[in-house]
Chain A
Amino acid sequence: MLAWTIYISFIGVLVLMLLPREAARAARIVALLTAIAGCVVAFVGAAQQPDPGEVMTIVKVPWIPSLGANYFLAADGISLVLVVLTGLAAVAGILFSWNVEKRTKEFFAFYLALIGGVYGVFLSFDVLLLFVFYELTIIPKYFLIARWGSTRKEYGAMKLALYSFVGSHLVLIGLIATWVVARAQTGHASLDLMELSKVSFPLGFQHWVFPLVFVGFGILAGLWPFHTWAPTGHVAAPTAGSMLLAGVVMKLGAYGCLRVAMVLFPDGARMWQNEIAALAVIGIVYGAGVALVQKDFKFVIGYSSVSHMGFVLLGLATLNTIGLSGAVLQMFSHGIIAGLLFAVVGRMVYDRTHTRDFNDLQTMQLGKLLPFAGVTFVLAGMASMGMPGFSGFWAEMRVLWGAWTVFPVATILSGLGIIIGVAYILRAVQKAFYSDAPAAAKSGHDHPLEPITTPERIGAAMLIAASLIIGLFPGLLLNWLQPCLNSPLFERLLKGGPL
């Protein structure tokens, strides 16, 4: 069932490619229907999962027997959370790019190809297959940004593509070495994640291969100091592009860290636990600090993503059930909230005012002109700060709670990051929407701003609702995550003895 999320997306790509060039409206509708179908399949499939603690096989057929690679799609609780997130983000992204007029059909074709690849990564339990889907997402990302982006789009797109590619190549080195070592040890070739996770790799091997694979995936998760693609990429991307980048693509990296690097090399994870936590905390504080001084509205959100992804990485570094469940919850929560923030900045504000500079925005009184955008941003900002009642609260709570027992100092420093987070959100709200600076004396804006459209309202409502529901009933997701983290797959990671 869940495999259809992937197939539907790629069928959508094919249909879009067959549409005539001028059919912009048809392209939008096809894309929206495809995304909705994928989202529905994701929800229904997730609801049908009998036991989220177990890895439920969806398809498993031999693919390349000489390598031991299978076409192996499966899902456990973690996959479910992220597949549902992808479904929501995909629909929202299309609603917020309803106004793409330039080469509409190609835009949505690349968009759906990216979504299909993302679903694929979250559902692959064969390491090679996961890698295939992971790399498959790079190309659409590049073209979406380079073709439909703004502000230094070609530079941002190339930087993002190269960072992703370098990261995935670090992973590739690790994969090949792992395949060879596992084959030498067990006597048969396998790339099956479940089988590889049972192999005990030598400590010396894990010592170097774990950081290689973790950093390789971590680059895409915004791991400091390899995060620099994120702000430029987010800013250069078109609205839907930044929503997907922050919403799901960064999660691919974090997911890879957890699913591949940590599950396959549990001892390596313990050896490098402190270093990862240190980088994560630097990311949290640094991202928040830099966000505080930006002049460009979108850069604020871009750096806030780095900061929030730091919580994911900190949660991973805790190596306990609470911290890990917090990390996955934060992936979900940040996916929703960052998507919403980018939607407000990119679609509601920038597409109408054509500026993101706080100095210009201050004079526009957007809170009065676009009250819906103002209110949405305030709500999204509250969620982003970790206000109770929104999903971000539970996620960051659990990460900090998990981290407290392992790294007390780091936990306190991350708390500092949260406080700066409140500051930069309030600063952005004040400067962009509710400034009391005098209105500019009749600037170039003679025509009134286009009112907020229905697709935007629906998209915003959807994302706010998702964040609120998880904020009020975090058990909905935690019931998927807890049994999954107690499953045998994570046993060696969470319950391993001293090295």
Chain B
Amino acid sequence: MNYFEVIRAAAPETALAITALMVLSVDLIVVRGESVARRFMTGAMVAILGCLMAAIFTFLHYGSVDPLHGLLVVDPLTNFLKVTLLVLAIFTVLISAAGTFTEHVGEYLSLVLLGTIGLMFLVSAEDLLMIFISLELASLSLYILTAFNKRNSRSSEAALKYFLFGGMSAAFLLFGFSLLYGLSGSTHLPEIAVALKGRGLDPLLLVAIVTTVIGFGFKVAAVPFHLWAPDAYEGAPTPSAAFIASGSKVASFYILAKILTMGFAGAEGSAVWHGYVSGWTPVIAVMAALSMVLGNLTAIVQSSVKRLLAYSAIAHAGYMLLGVLANTPSSHSALLFYVITYALTVLGAFGVVTVVEAATGGGALANFAGLSRRAPALSLCLLVFLLSLAGIPPLAGFIGKFFLFSAVVGADAGHLGLLWLVILAIVMSAVSFYYYLQVLKQAYVLDAAENAPTIKVPPVTMFALVLLAVLVILLGCAPGLLLRHL
């Protein structure tokens, strides 16, 4: 084993870990006693510099290496995903500037960074143990981030719920992994696939598939393992919820697709209409269909924008699962395109919610009334984000859906056997238009209460939101910019 190679391969994560410690110590030592806003600015600056540093290290290492036999696989795709995760972390830090939920800024920022490290290791892992450890590192950071608003008991409740569900899902995952190891004698995904080849679907393998899918079902909040999501999103400080919905989603979907397509290669089965074969794709198909239907229908009746976004996240997880189950190269790149653009969009949407919450004291639909008058630029950003989530062209969300759905249908071009899932998805996304429009109706059609003051948006947050909105429009008009990396 060449240690120098390992250090080079892990340089971005190492840089980020050092930054996390630096943020903590700068907050404790250098800016102690200053105002919260100042401490936040200093900490955020250090954190962002660290992220940029890590991104530079990632770019410097643009080859493909696998120094630890699957524990840390570095190739152009994982590098690109790591840069994406770093970008999402930077945006999370920037939109946190508008929040007023904590005075422990050092801890908050370093937890965001630690979570990012976990997610970065996760996308690099091709080994069950490493997958589990990095997933736990990310998850533990996210649990604490959810609980960060100590003044609000709902925040602790949400964190506890998230933690208990998360712990249970980790148990399921470990159980599945242990079965896989027992069946194949290896923790390395390609070796597992080789060992499982030709065994057929014996009951043990089925149990392994189902428990693994359950474990990740919790992570990506797919029905019926979604119950924690609305409460966690609502109770958590909004920037934390944004991070859960964006960075964590990207990494979880990537690794889910990797485990299923790499580790369970040969046990796919088929979810084709009238051509059902048991395996993991039918399991995913059922989860996808349930998520799309339940997520979209439940979102309609929500009165809190954060809960609405949580249910819409469940629905979007359903669409993304289609990309997993189609299992072709084009569906995988479509899935990554979709989940990355979704992460950028939802981060922006949560950013707007953060500002509105800070200004009006709540995130209910009614708090958005007359937003277009009180903060024109902010509500224009909201318009872009929500319409992109609804899939209106020429925004990124539309083109992502088009890529994804055409790749899914194209996976069985001869018989259009997966068309039934795509029809369900498209019909449900027509439903979703209604509730996104409800939010925009508040912002653009209804009037604010008499003499409601204009909303002051912190310049840092406004900058981040405008940048995100521009990205969403740009990726919708010129998707090739992103697609060629995937």
Contact surface of A with B, Cβ cutoff 8 Å:
64-67, 106, 128, 131-132, 135-136, 138-139, 142-143, 146-147, 154, 158, 161-162, 165-166, 169, 172-173, 176-177, 179-181, 183-184
Chain B residue at minimum C-beta to C-beta distance from A62: B480
Contact surface of B with A, Cβ cutoff 8 Å:
330, 372, 387, 392-394, 398-399, 402-403, 405-406, 409-410, 413-414, 416, 419, 422-423, 426-427, 429-430, 433-434, 437, 441, 444-445, 479-480, 483
Chain B residue at minimum C-beta to C-beta distance from A66: B483
Q: Are A136 and B392 in contact (CB under 8 A)?
A: yes
CB distance from B399 to the nearest CB of A (A): 7
Q: Are B394 and A132 in contact (CB under 8 A)?
A: yes
Chain A residue at minimum C-beta to C-beta distance from B412: A180
Cα–Cα, bound, A154→B434 (Å): 12
Which of B427, B434, B444 touches A169 (beta carbons < 8 Å)?
B427
In the bound complex, residues from chain A placing their C-beta under 8 Å from that of B423 are: 173
Q: Are A158 and B437 in contact (CB under 8 A)?
A: yes
Which of A132, A158, A165, A180 touches B393 (beta carbons < 8 Å)?
A132
Q: Are B480 and A64 in contact (CB under 8 A)?
A: yes
Q: Are A135 and B392 in contact (CB under 8 A)?
A: yes
Which of A66, A142, A165 touches B430 (beta carbons < 8 Å)?
A165
CB distance from A382 to the nearest CB of B (A): 38
In the bound complex, residues from chain A placing their C-beta under 8 Å from that of B393 are: 131-132, 135-136
Q: Are B433 and A161 in contact (CB under 8 A)?
A: yes
Q: Are B479 and A64 in contact (CB under 8 A)?
A: yes
In the bound complex, residues from chain A placing their C-beta under 8 Å from that of B409 are: 176-177, 180
Cα–Cα, bound, A499→B406 (Å): 30
Chain A residue at minimum C-beta to C-beta distance from B390: A165
CB distance from A18 to the nearest CB of B (A): 11
In the bound complex, residues from chain B placing their C-beta under 8 Å from that of A106 are: 372
Which of A64, A132, A173 touches B426 (beta carbons < 8 Å)?
A173
CB distance from A116 to the nearest CB of B (A): 12
Q: Are B433 and A183 in contact (CB under 8 A)?
A: no
Supposing A136-B394, A176-B422, A180-B413 touch, asked if A143 and B444 sit within 8 A by C-beta, the answer is yes
CB distance from B326 to the nearest CB of A (A): 12
**Residue among B392, B406, B414 with the highest chain A CB neighbour number at 10 A:** B406
Which of B392, B399, B403 touches A139 (beta carbons < 8 Å)?
B392
Please name 19 further chain A to chain B contacts, defined as beta carbons within 8 Å, in addition to the given A177-B409, A181-B413, sorted by A numbering: A64-B483, A65-B480, A66-B330, A66-B480, A67-B402, A67-B403, A132-B393, A132-B394, A143-B445, A146-B441, A147-B445, A165-B430, A165-B433, A166-B430, A169-B426, A176-B405, A179-B406, A180-B409, A184-B414
Chain B residue at minimum C-beta to C-beta distance from A184: B413
In the bound complex, residues from chain B placing their C-beta under 8 Å from that of A138 are: 392
Q: What would 10 A/B residue contacts be, using CB atoms closer than 8 Å?
A: A135-B392, A135-B393, A135-B398, A139-B387, A146-B444, A169-B430, A173-B419, A176-B405, A179-B406, A184-B413
Q: Are B402 and A158 in contact (CB under 8 A)?
A: no
Chain A residue at minimum C-beta to C-beta distance from B423: A173
In the bound complex, residues from chain B placing their C-beta under 8 Å from that of A180 are: 406, 409-410, 413, 416
Chain B residue at minimum C-beta to C-beta distance from A135: B393
Supposing A136-B392, A176-B406 touch, asked if A154 and B441 sit within 8 A by C-beta, the answer is yes
Cα–Cα, bound, A180→B445 (Å): 40
Q: Are A173 and B422 in contact (CB under 8 A)?
A: yes
In the bound complex, residues from chain B placing their C-beta under 8 Å from that of A176 are: 402, 405-406, 409, 422
Cα–Cα, bound, A162→B426 (Å): 13
Q: Are A162 and B414 in contact (CB under 8 A)?
A: no
In the bound complex, residues from chain B placing their C-beta under 8 Å from that of A66 are: 330, 480, 483
Chain A residue at minimum C-beta to C-beta distance from B413: A184
In the bound complex, residues from chain B placing their C-beta under 8 Å from that of A162 are: 430, 433-434
CB distance from B430 to the nearest CB of A (A): 4
Chain A residue at minimum C-beta to C-beta distance from B403: A67
Cα–Cα, bound, A173→B408 (Å): 12
In the bound complex, residues from chain B placing their C-beta under 8 Å from that of A165 are: 430, 433
Which of B399, B416, B427, B429 touches A64 (beta carbons < 8 Å)?
B399
Q: Are A128 and B394 in contact (CB under 8 A)?
A: no
Chain A residue at minimum C-beta to C-beta distance from B444: A143
Cα–Cα, bound, A132→B396 (Å): 12
In the bound complex, residues from chain A placing their C-beta under 8 Å from that of B445 are: 143, 146-147, 154
In the bound complex, residues from chain A placing their C-beta under 8 Å from that of B399 are: 64
Cα–Cα, bound, A147→B372 (Å): 12
CB distance from B263 to the nearest CB of A (A): 28
In the bound complex, residues from chain A placing their C-beta under 8 Å from that of B430 are: 162, 165-166, 169
In the bound complex, residues from chain B placing their C-beta under 8 Å from that of A64 are: 399, 479-480, 483
CB distance from A353 to the nearest CB of B (A): 26
In the bound complex, residues from chain B placing their C-beta under 8 Å from that of A131 are: 393
CB distance from B452 to the nearest CB of A (A): 16
Q: Are A169 and B429 in contact (CB under 8 A)?
A: yes
Cα–Cα, bound, A67→B483 (Å): 11
Cα–Cα, bound, A175→B295 (Å): 25
A-B CB proximity, top 8 nearest? A132-B393, A184-B413, A169-B430, A146-B445, A180-B409, A180-B410, A165-B433, A176-B406
CB distance from B131 to the nearest CB of A (A): 30
**Residue among B429, B434, B444 with the highest chain A CB neighbour number at 10 A:** B444
CB distance from A432 to the nearest CB of B (A): 30
Cα–Cα, bound, A169→B392 (Å): 11
Cα–Cα, bound, A136→B405 (Å): 20
Chain B residue at minimum C-beta to C-beta distance from A158: B437
In the bound complex, residues from chain A placing their C-beta under 8 Å from that of B330 are: 66
Cα–Cα, bound, A450→B427 (Å): 49
Supposing A172-B426, A173-B422, A177-B419 touch, asked if A161 and B437 sit within 8 A by C-beta, the answer is yes
Which of A128, A143, A154, A166 touches B402 (beta carbons < 8 Å)?
A128
CB distance from A482 to the nearest CB of B (A): 34
Cα–Cα, bound, A177→B421 (Å): 12
Q: Are B406 and A67 in contact (CB under 8 A)?
A: yes
